[in-house]
Amino acid sequence: MEKQLSQKWIISKSWLRFLAIIILVIGVFFRFVNLDRKIYWNDEVYSSLRISGYLESEMNERLRNGHLVTLGNLEKYQYPNSEKHTIDTIKGLISEESQVVPLYFVTLRFWVEWFGDSIAVIRSFSAFISLLTFPCLFWLCQELFGSSLIGWMSIALIAVSPIHVLYAQEARTYSLWIVAILISSIALLRAMRLKTKVSWCIYAATLSLGFYSHLFFTWIALGHGVYVAVIERFRLSKTSINYLLSALAGVITFLPWIWIIITHPTPDKISWANAKQTSFESAIRWAGIISRGFLDIGIGSSQPLKFNIALIFPIFIVLTLIIYSIYVLCRRTSKDVWLFILILIGSVALPLLAVDLLFEKKSTSTRYLLPVVLGMQLAVAYLFTIKLTSISPKIWQKKLWSLVVSIVIISGIGSCMLSSQAQLWWIKAPQRYQEYPEIANIISKTKKPLLISDSDMIFIQTLGHLLDPKVRFQFVTQKQLPEITNGFTDIFLFKPSDFLKAGIEKIYNSNLQQIDRSLWKITKSS
């Protein structure tokens, strides 16, 4: 009797596929809904600057002259135009962001030229690229596990994974990086299985794609080398030789950009990674980042301690699930399967963890751990699949794992629902930009406003995406005062230096009224 009851709790393969397709549709919806709702923040402003073809120094030189500037003048440095071409996009990266590889920005420029320059269109490029994740996941699971069901489970988990959805809506290269990792992994496993020259040539091409999608793909490629070496027992076999030749071909195609990084270093662009962080803080940060693959309610490290404490239990549950999944994976699969997953996780995690712990730096960012989360999700997908489809005499186990899978999927959907409605989320650095919507609202409500600033132009561009076209601007360099003209109903200072504030009060015999942390209004002295 108990055996008959347990049989009823076995989920059929066709039913599992059907549920996965429903979840996939939901995940696709979340990737495209409200694409323009969230604030267009610092990193995305840099993306737009790159596709415009202008240099940041060029933008500063042309705008910081004290002359009146319209919103259209600002937008000139955020969208492609006839003055600059694709080669200028590459030159901008070489000169000012050599640590950022060009493939994403070159293709994004073409996308914007073809489909329009709204924020929704710009972000939709990443969203469309992220859709390639799903067929690649299915194919990878076929190559790695020889199972289409694990592929469907992986698709279901990642379709509504909060972290994957968020970066699918980000005008940066991370969706392309994930796709490149999956394609190169498929190509490697396929080449090792087929052992043909064509398959190894395809793998070499995927390495080139990966190198030009993200600089940290280098760790993935090295991980592939470790995998081949261990599987081939460190022998110089035909497979090992073919891997070395393919890797060499891929590296040769990337040598021009390696030379650019060496000859045009831009350490100021990654200075944020030098921030100090204790080992305990690193551990908490890592746990929080990894848990976002399954659960995300918008609480970041900048939130009050009481909110982070409230997440301790769910994060513990998620980490326990991941550890158990990896344990089961290692116990129940062959070496070539579990080793590949572990190397995918460790190839990026170990170097970043070493820097964080040894040098006590805050070098790890959520976006850099996407391959780590991906590997862990593959392990969880394997666990869920075998638990849901195995024949077990214990009916309580079937019920328990059905409940666990349901909770994980519902948590992902709920997280995506929350973030889709928010204007600010942890991914947009709310500790820095949470006041921007209110500032924009205050300025735009006035009749004829003038905004004066000597702050970083990237911050101003971020605010500019929220402002009404009627706003006029005056930008000056540090230690320079503007010549304020008449005809404006309201005059504001945005992120002014102490020099600018003191100079305005003294020269124009005015008082400054602080409206927000970064906004002051000029009022006449009584």
DSSP codes of every residue in 255-284: HHHHHHHHHS--GGGGGGGG-B--HHHHHH
Whether 288 and 376 share a structural domain: yes
Whether 371 and 273 share a structural domain: yes
- Distance CA(238)–CA(228), nearest Å, equals 11
Whether 292 and 410 share a structural domain: yes
Whether 416 and 436 share a structural domain: no
Whether 401 and 459 share a structural domain: no
Phi-psi region of 146 (alpha: psi -120 to 50; beta: other; left: phi over 0): left
Residue 512 bridge partners (DSSP): 522
Name the helix (H) or strand (E) containing 492: strand 490-494
- Distance CA(55)–CA(92), nearest Å, equals 5
Give DSSP secondary structure letters for 149-181: HHHHHHHHHHHT-HHHHHHHTSSSSHHHHHHHH
For residue 179, being part of any structural domain is answered with no
Give the model's pLDDT for residue 306.
56
CB 277 within 8 Å of CB 285: yes
Whether 275 and 398 share a structural domain: yes
For residue 515, being part of any structural domain is answered with yes
pTM of the complete model: 0.94
| Residue-level pLDDT, tens digit, the chain, 526 residues | 334 434 444 566 788 889 999 999 999 999 999 999 999 999 999 999 999 999 999 999 999 999 999 999 999 999 998 899 999 999 999 999 999 999 999 999 999 999 999 999 999 999 999 999 999 999 999 999 999 999 999 999 999 999 999 999 999 999 999 999 999 999 999 999 999 999 999 999 999 999 999 999 999 999 999 999 999 999 999 999 999 999 999 999 999 999 999 999 887 766 666 677 777 778 888 888 999 999 998 876 555 555 567 678 889 999 999 999 999 999 999 999 999 999 999 999 999 988 888 877 776 788 999 999 999 999 999 999 999 887 765 777 888 899 999 999 999 999 999 999 999 999 998 888 999 999 999 999 999 999 999 999 999 999 999 999 999 999 999 888 998 888 899 999 999 999 999 999 988 888 899 999 999 999 876 5
Give the model's pLDDT for residue 486.
86
Whether 466 and 338 share a structural domain: no
Give the model's pLDDT for residue 329.
97
Q: Which tokens in the block code for residue 492?
A: 């504001």
Give the model's pLDDT for residue 274.
67
Whether 365 and 470 share a structural domain: no
Nearest to 54 by CA among 44, 62, 65: 62
For residue 6, being part of any structural domain is answered with yes
Give the model's pLDDT for residue 105.
97
> Phi and psi of 395, rounded to 5°?
-65, -30
For residue 393, being part of any structural domain is answered with yes
Show contacts of 344-350: CB within 8 Å, 24+ apart. Answer: 344/181, 344/185, 344/220, 344/223, 344/371, 344/374, 344/375, 344/378, 345/371, 345/372, 345/375, 345/376, 346/223, 347/219, 347/220, 347/222, 347/223, 347/226, 347/371, 348/216, 348/219, 348/220, 348/223, 348/372
The total number of structural domains that make up the chain: 2
Residue 469 C-beta-side C-alpha neighbours within 13 Å: 3
Whether 362 and 499 share a structural domain: no
- Distance CA(510)–CA(516), nearest Å, equals 18
For residue 317, being part of any structural domain is answered with yes
Give DSSP secondary structure letters for 415-478: HHHHHHT-S--GGG-HHHHTTHHHHHHHHHHSSSEEEEE-S-HHHHHHHHTTS-TT-EEEE--T
For residue 253, being part of any structural domain is answered with no
Length of the chain measured in residues: 526
Whether 287 and 322 share a structural domain: yes
Whether 415 and 442 share a structural domain: no
- Distance CA(329)–CA(347), nearest Å, equals 18
Which among 405, 424, 443 is the end of a domain?
A: 424
Give the model's pLDDT for residue 9.
47
| Range(s) of the domain holding residue 289 | 1-30+268-424
Instruction: List alpha helices for 311-451, DSSP H.
Output: 312-332, 335-359, 370-389, 395-420, 430-433, 436-445
Which among 424, 444, 463 is the end of a domain?
A: 424
| Helix and strand totals (H; E) in the chain | 25, 6
Q: Which tokens in the block code for residue 105?
A: 């920005």
Whether 402 and 446 share a structural domain: no
Which among 408, 424, 440 is the end of a domain?
A: 424
CB 159 within 8 Å of CB 28: yes
Place of tokens 């326990």: 320
- Distance CA(420)–CA(399), nearest Å, equals 31
For residue 291, being part of any structural domain is answered with yes
Give the model's pLDDT for residue 359.
74
Give the model's pLDDT for residue 351.
92
For residue 442, being part of any structural domain is answered with yes
